[in-house]
Amino acid sequence: GESVGLHLPTLSVQEGDNSIINCAYSNSASDYFIWYKQESGKGPQFIIDIRSNMDKRQGQRVTVLLNKTVKHLSLQIAATQPGDSAVYFCAEKWSGGSNYKLTFGKGTLLTVNP
Amino acid sequence: NAGVTQTPKFQVLKTGQSMTLQCAQDMNHNSMYWYRQDPGMGLRLIYYSASEGTTDKGEVPNGYNVSRLNKREFSLRLESAAPSQTSVYFCASSVWGRAADTQYFGPGTRLTVL
């Protein structure tokens, strides 16, 4: 998994498997978290977000889990498809600070093998 | 509704040349941002504009200037390009800068400085 501040890790899965992408964040005051997907040659695309008063949020084929105790965030993708191949970034925000400051992790490269 | 558009898509400059990267959004958003993305690193905020008529420095503003031309347009200028500014530049916008306001990204400008 990735950490806001480390080299780009990779994850390779088979089509149809579930994928889990991890992210460790550093600011214990962060209270809003977002996952972005970035396909090759494109800009980041919003996937799902979660507030710090929640520990789980589900979207279409994606689930985000938040563990504030250990400052850990994960993105689960069900039945991974080749179109899911991309770099996935987590980002954190602290609403008590500069509202414009969104801190990004360095990303995890997900490769889906057909 | 095109979202966030950026021009040009690609640019090659020689050291010392100047250029302006253009960004426009048609979502009636108030806040706009410029990021750079370097290999193995997350997106880093260069400048942002919380609302029309205001601009503020982000994490890496040195060597750049910005102009919020109107509500739709936010440009980034490199007055004297340096090889260290070789990067992919992304513009983003959001309704406001609140934690829950999703930032939407453009497709990026790939800049090489020789």
- B13-72 pLDDT per residue, tens: 999 999 999 999 999 999 999 999 998 778 999 999 999 999 999 999 999 999 999 999
Query: Cβ distance A85 to A112 under 8 Å?
Result: yes
A72 backbone dihedrals φ, ψ, rounded to 5°: -130, 140
The rounded mean pLDDT for chain B is 94
In angstroms, the CA B69 to CA B90 distance is: 17
Quote the pLDDT of residue A94: 81
Q: Amino acid identity of A90?
A: C
Nearest by CB to residue B105, choosing from A44, A100, A107, is A44
A101-to-A3, A20, A29, A48 alpha-carbon distances in Å: 18, 26, 13, 18
Quote the pLDDT of residue B99: 76
For an interface test with B, the pick among A100, A103, A104 (most B C-beta atoms closer than 10 Å) comes out as: A100
Residue A43, chain B, CB below 8 Å: the answer is yes
Quote the pLDDT of residue A3: 45
Q: How far is A58 from chain B (nearest CA, A)?
A: 17
Which has the minimum average pLDDT: A33-42, A92-101, B62-71?
A: A92-101
Are B99 and A104 within 8 A, CB to CB? no
Q: How confident is the model at residue A5 (pLDDT cuts 50, 70, 90)?
A: very low
Task: Report, as an integer, the average pLDDT of A28-35.
Answer: 91
Query: Cβ distance B66 to B75 under 8 Å?
Result: yes
A107 contact partners, CB below 8 Å, separation of at least 6? A2, A8, A38, A87, A88, A89, B42
So what's the architecture of A4-95 in CATH?
Answer: Sandwich (2.60)
CA proximity to B100, closest of A29, A65, A93, A60: A93
In angstroms, the CA A103 to CA A106 distance is: 10
The length of chain A is 114
Peptide bond into B8 cis (omega under 30): yes
Nearest by CB to residue A95, choosing from B31, B99, B106, is B99
Pair of tokens at residue B1: 């509704």
Pair of tokens at residue A35: 């996952």
3-class DSSP state for residue B82? coil
Which residue of chain A comes nearest to B33, CA vs CA?
Answer: A100
Residue B2, chain A, CB below 8 Å: the answer is no
Is the pLDDT at A6 greater than 70? The verdict is no
Domain ranges of chain A: 4-95
Q: Which residues of B touch A43 (CB under 8 A)?
A: 4, 90, 92, 105-108
